[in-house]
Structure formats: structure tokens, C-alpha cells
């Protein structure tokens, strides 16, 4: 297994290490609940150095990125980021990524750890006649995410730069401790937060600095367990769960990131054709009515008929109840007109059907919980 530059830091903190996408990563330190609530209420620190970074540069970098992604890359300003998808020709999802624009001729993809090599090879394989160079920068970067209501104050003091004017999904570049940093106001938790790209070997120094400055704010290191419960409370998709190579992004509820009225992109025609035929699956959120924790792969039923499967499920530390998401089968285009709010369906848990209620997303709404 591969290890990040922070591996020894995690071991010193007593982290429970697990295999994830070929990496040895911390799943928890003190406990998922404590780490989750620290992010919701104060500030938490994540090692996300296992994520992949792919740079595209050259005279055709922007139009090339427009061609290989579903969102409208032409609308990204310099020092702005954009959530987008890379699709196969059949409309299935290669990966969901964040695209960072430095200039029209220099852009950077951040890909999921499990898909890093696949995304790099896919992008390189579709250069065609575009005048671009594609570089796998993953070995060059450590990446640290600081998330939570106190993240701005802690990070600003740690690196000596005010982040007050940095808007969501924008980034800046700066120098700290003789290291070039990319500081992006992005995250995967639903809280205000930042993701910092920096030279691989500098990861431990920045982590230590953030932990030191954040001690007065109750900062906690957080592992993959809390990262998953936080994203699920927000209804954020996870590759290998809500989306994969067989997933239609419209059925996954990601239509706002698929700009069918913009220029052509790989997979566009297949997605247009699926709309004409009618969508046949729908991703829904739900909360448990009866006891039990929904888990990926559990079957979903209504009135004895199997409708689909659970894609993600957990016990929500913020809501103090089980939550989950899953796909239901529909009948052609009719699925677009169904209002399932508060509908009661069932999940099979240990050979017993347990009642759940369809819910709206996000599960966690700041100020309402």
C-alpha cells in the first residue's frame, strides 16, 4: 500500500489505519462521532493527499477541458474552481472531479484516489488534435483539508494570509515557509472550509502548524470515517457508491453539472438520448423509521416489490438517526414527475423489511438541526 507524507503523523496520533484505494489511510483517531462533530461545530483536519492531481497545459487547454467534462468550463474565471464530471462515450461516469483554472492554458484536475490513474489515462487518451500536455502531478502534492466554522481563522493565522475575501470555489496561490501553496475554498463536508495543495514533503510541517494554531479552537484530526458521514449528511455523491461507470449522471441527480446547452462533450449524445427514452432510475434519500442501519447493497422494496438498492448509509452524528441514499427503479420518463417526499418504503436488513421514509437533501441543514 502507498502512504502519504503524513503517515507517521497519523501513527503518532494513534490513528486506526485502513486500506483505501491502495493507500494506508486513517479511518479514525478519537472516534468518528467526535471528529464529525468537531467539523460541524469548530474545526477538523483531514489528510487527503491520496487524491489525484492531473495538470493540463498548452494553447488548447481550456477547449480540451471543455470537451472532456460535462460542466461549462468556458465560464470558469482565473483562480476559480468548478465541480464537474468526466464521462465515457456511453454517458457513464469516469469520475467526478474539481477543475481548477489558473489560466486558459493551465488547469488542474483533482480526481478521486480510486480513479486517479484511470482519469489520467482517460484524459491522455483523448488528446486527439488538441495542442495540450497532460501531466500526472499526484506524486508532487500533499493535500490537506481544514473544515469547519473556525477553519478560516485557523488557516489564516497559520499561513499569515487573510482569507476573508476568498469566495467559495475560488482559490489563491501563496508562499508559506518557502513552499508554494494553492489554497482553495472547497471541501466535502458542507461546512466552510479549505483544501490546500502543497509540495509533498511539506505536508507534515503544515499539518503541525494547523494543529498548533487550532488547539485553542478545539481542532481535531479527522479520518475517512468522519469524511464519509459528513458528506452523506449533505447528500454528496461518492464514486463507487452513488456514481460509477454505469451511472447516468441525470439519474444520480447531478443534472445541474451537465450543461447540455453548452458545447459538445464526451458522452453528451448518450445523455441526450437517455432523456428522450426516459430515465429509469432515481437516486433518493431516506431516513429510517424502524430500527437498523442501512448499508450499501441492501435491497429496497415497496409493497413487496424490489425497487432497487442502497448506495450509502450510516448513523448521522448530527441528526442522531440513521440516514441513507439509494436507487429506485422507475417507469420511463414518468420518474421525472414523481414526488416521493415522505413516501414510505422498506429496506431489507438481515432478512427483515424495515420501514424508511423518503427525505429531501441535504439531510443536515445548518441552523435547523
Select from 83, 90, 89 the least CA-distant residue to 68: 89
**Which residue, chain included where needed, has cell 481535531?**
220
| pLDDT class of 211 with cuts at 50, 70, 90 | very high
CA distance 235 to 218: 26
DSSP annotation of 106: E
Residue 235 near residue 287 (C-beta atoms within 8 A): no
| pLDDT class of 366 with cuts at 50, 70, 90 | confident
Q: Are residues 278 and 153 in the same domain?
A: no
Q: Are residues 90 and 216 in the same domain?
A: no
CA distance 281 to 330: 6
Residue 219 near residue 38 (C-beta atoms within 8 A): yes
Host domain of residue 158: 7-49+139-232
User: Does 274 map to a domain?
Assistant: yes
- Over the chain, what is the mean pLDDT? 95
pLDDT for res 331: 46
For the beta sheet containing 52-57, the strands, ordered from the edge strand earlier in sequence to the opposite edge, are: 80-87, 93-103, 106-111, 52-57, 133-136
| pLDDT class of 214 with cuts at 50, 70, 90 | very high
Q: Are residues 144 and 207 in the same domain?
A: yes
Q: Are residues 29 and 156 in the same domain?
A: yes
Residues present in the chain in total:
369
CATH number at residue 346: 2.40.30.110
CATH number at residue 67: 3.30.70.1400
What integer is the mean pLDDT of 9-26?
A: 98
Cα four-point dihedral sign 6, 11, 16, 22? positive
Question: How many domains does the chain divide into?
Answer: 3
Q: Are residues 26 and 158 in the same domain?
A: yes
Phi-psi region of 253 (alpha: psi -120 to 50; beta: other; left: phi over 0): left
pLDDT for res 367: 57
* Predicted TM-score (pTM) of this structure: 0.95
Q: Are residues 11 and 32 in the same domain?
A: yes
Select from 245, 320, 255 the least CA-distant residue to 282: 255
Strand partners, 109: 54, 99
Q: Give the gyration radius of the chain's Cα atoms.
A: 21
Q: Are residues 250 and 347 in the same domain?
A: yes
CA distance 314 to 300: 16
pLDDT digits (tens, 9 = 90+) for 221-237: 999 999 999 999 999 99
Q: Which grid coordinates belong to 226?
A: 468522519
Distances (CA, A) of 308 to 176, 217, 297, 301: 50, 44, 9, 7
pLDDT value at 334 more than 80: no
pLDDT for res 115: 97
User: Does 367 map to a domain?
Assistant: no
pLDDT digits (tens, 9 = 90+) for 52-105: 999 999 999 999 999 999 999 999 999 999 999 999 999 999 999 999 999 999
Residue 359 near residue 285 (C-beta atoms within 8 A): yes
pLDDT value at 336 more than 80: no
Q: Which tops the pLDDT comparison, 50 or 367?
A: 50
What integer is the mean pLDDT of 19-43?
A: 98
- The residue ranges of DSSP E strands in the chain, in sequence order, are 16-20, 23-28, 44-47, 52-57, 80-87, 93-103, 106-111, 133-136, 141-147, 171-176, 179-184, 193-199, 220-221, 281-288, 299-302, 305-316, 321-329, 344-349, 352-359
Last residue of a domain, one of 198, 232, 266: 232
Cis peptide before 50 (omega within 30 of 0): no
Last residue of a domain, one of 199, 232, 265: 232
pLDDT digits (tens, 9 = 90+) for 277-309: 989 999 999 999 999 999 999 999 988 899 999
pLDDT value at 369 more than 80: no
Last residue of a domain, one of 129, 152, 174: 129
CATH number at residue 202: 3.30.1360.120
pLDDT value at 337 more than 60: no
pLDDT value at 263 more than 90: no
User: Does 134 map to a domain?
Assistant: no
Q: Are residues 351 and 245 in the same domain?
A: yes
Q: Are residues 182 and 211 in the same domain?
A: yes
Question: Interhelix angle for 203-214 vs 151-159, to 10°?
Answer: 120
Amino acid at each position: 500500500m502507498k502512504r502519504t507524507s503524513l503517515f507517521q503523523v497519523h501513527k503518532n496520533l494513534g490513528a486506526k489505519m485502513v486500506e483505501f484505494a491502495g493507500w494506508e489511510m486513517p479511518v479514525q483517531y478519537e472516534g468518528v462521532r467526535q471528529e464529525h462533530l468537531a467539523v460541524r461545530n469548530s474545526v477538523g483536519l483531514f489528510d487527503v493527499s491520496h487524491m489525484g492531481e492531473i495538470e493540463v497545459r498548452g494553447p488548447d487547454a481550456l477547449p480540451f477541458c471543455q470537451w472532456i467534462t460535462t460542466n461549462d468550463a468556458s465560464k470558469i474565471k482565473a483562480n476559480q474552481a468548478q465541480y464537474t464530471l468526466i464521462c465515457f462515450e456511453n454517458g457513464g461516469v469516469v469520475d467526478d472531479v474539481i477543475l481548477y483554472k489558473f489560466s486558459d492554458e493551465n488547469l488542474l484536475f483533482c480526481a478521486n484516489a480510486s480513479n486517479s490513474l484511470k482519469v489520467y489515462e482517460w484524459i491522455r487518451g483523448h488528446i486527439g488534435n488538441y495542442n495540450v500536455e497532460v501531466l500526472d502531478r499526484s506524486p508532487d502534492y500533499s493535500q490537506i483539508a481544514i473544515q469547519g466554522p473556525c477553519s478560516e481563522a485557523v488557516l489564516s493565522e497559520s499561513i499569515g494570509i487573510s482569507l476573508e475575501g476568498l469566495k467559495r470555489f475560488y482559490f489563491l496561490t501563496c508562499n508559506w515557509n518557502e513552499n508554494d501553496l494553492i489554497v482553495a475554498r472547497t471541501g466535502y463536508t458542507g461546512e466552510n472550509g479549505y483544501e490546500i495543495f502543497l509540495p509533498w514533503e511539506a505536508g507534515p510541517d503544515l499539518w503541525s502548524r494547523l494543529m498548533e494554531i487550532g488547539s485553542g479552537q478545539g481542532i481535531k484530526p479527522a479520518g475517512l470515517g468522519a469524511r464519509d458521514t459528513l458528506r452523506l449528511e449533505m447528500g454528496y455523491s461518492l464514486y463507487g457508491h452513488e456514481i460509477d461507470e454505469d451511472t447516468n449522471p441525470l439519474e444520480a441527480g447531478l443534472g445541474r453539472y451537465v450543461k447540455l446547452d453548452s458545447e459538445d462533450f464526451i458522452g453528451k449524445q448518450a445523455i441526450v438520448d437517455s432523456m428522450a427514452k426516459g430515465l429509469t432510475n432515481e437516486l433518493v434519500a431516506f431516513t429510517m423509521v424502524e430500527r437498523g442501519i442501512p448499508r450499501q447493497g441492501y435491497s429496497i422494496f415497496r409493497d413487496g416489490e424490489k425497487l432497487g438498492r442502497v448506495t450509502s448509509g450510516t448513523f448521522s452524528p448530527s441528526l442522531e438517526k440513521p440516514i441513507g441514499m439509494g436507487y429506485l427503479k422507475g417507469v420511463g420518463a414518468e420518474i421525472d414527475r414523481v414526488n416521493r417526499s415522505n413516501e414510505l418504503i422498506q429496506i431489507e436488513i438481515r432478512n427483515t423489511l424495515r420501514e424508511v421514509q423518503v427525505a429531501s437533501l441535504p439531510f443536515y441543514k445548518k441552523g435547523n438541526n
